Amino acid sequence: MAAYYRRRAENGVGLIVTEGTVINHPDASNHPNIPHFYGEDALNGWANVLAEVHAAGGKIIPQIWHVGTRGRVDYTEAEIADIVQAFAHSAAEAKRLGFDGIELHGAHGYLIDQFFYEQTNTRTDRYGGDMLKRTRFAVEVIEACRRAVGPDFLIDLRFSQWKSGDYNAKLAETPERLERFLAPLVAAGVDMFHCSTRRFWEPEFEGNELNLAGWVKKLTGKPTITVGSVGLDNDFMSLFTEGKGASVAQINGLLERLERGEFDLVAIGRALLGDPAWASKIRDGRSDELIPFTRELLQNLH
């Protein structure tokens, strides 16, 4: 794993966000092969990954995660407090090891997002209710992480409108509601937002070409990361729903939006999984050498 991440740092990836790593809670993982971000053995392994990436001149942050429950979020308030502290513990360990920040995974129907979303958060206590009240759990996680790492350590929050079971879902249907949703998260201590979309080029709201990352930067003033089928001509789920891979796509339009300041960073998923030299090939004008993302490539990665 250390060699895997180092290859990408050596090829010009400016910031590596790791795969999802789970906190110390019994429900945090739904698969035995998901890596932990707690415990001596796991943290020693991540320290080795960190050393290799830094030696290659890269920056790296762990994505800290709790996959959530099946259905509604029904933890008791005492257990919620334990989960909040487990997030903070992993954040503190990231700082202790020397990582360059953390990313909290609050997207795609996982635990933080389950509290955000009215269909999965039907609580009647202080963690449920209207859109602002449903941010309380995330606010407590962010605040606890901020206390654990201090004021100068990067906290990035990944969030999405869409859910794994509903691509058309919206936490906020208008820019005004999105602004109200984001405000308590900014106040809690988020430094940057990783705005997950399936296709970066699609407008988030009618009547304006800004995508989700563009709107979040405009509304909060915080740096944003855009993502979604960058460098490829098909979205991720088509590999599973239709058996289709993805061919290489040009990124001229993406670069124009980046240069206009619509967003600050661009996350590369499948294209970089399959080709560790993606960034250097793009930089050097060698796009004809890029490796398409196919089902066979995914199987080989496994």
Both tokens of 23, joined, read: 């906190």
Q: Is the dihedral of CA 138, 141, 147, 149 positive or negative?
A: negative
How distant, in Å, are the alpha carbons of 20, 171, 195, 197, 201 from that of 167? 21, 12, 14, 9, 15
DSSP sequence for the chain: -HHHHHHHHHTT-SEEEEEEEE-SSTTS-SSTTSPBSSSHHHHHHHHHHHHHHHHTT-EEEEEEE----SSS----HHHHHHHHHHHHHHHHHHHHHT-S-EEEEEEETSHHHHHH-TTT----STT-SSTTGGGHHHHHHHHHHHHHH-TTS-EEEEEEEEETTBTT--S-SSHHHHHHHHHHHHHHT--EEEEE-S-TTS-SSTT----HHHHHHHHH---EEEESSTTBSS-TTHHHHT---B-B---HHHHHHHHTTS-SEE---HHHHH-TTHHHHHHTT-GGGPPPB-HHHHHHH-
Q: Give me the phi and psi of 88, to 5 degrees please.
A: -65, -35
- Residue 5 a catalytic site member: no
Query: Contact 90/38 with Cβ under 8 angstroms?
Result: yes
Catalytic pick among 5, 75, 110, 117: 110
User: Minimal CA–CA distance to 67: which of 121, 119, 135, 113?
Assistant: 113
Catalogue the active-site residues: 110
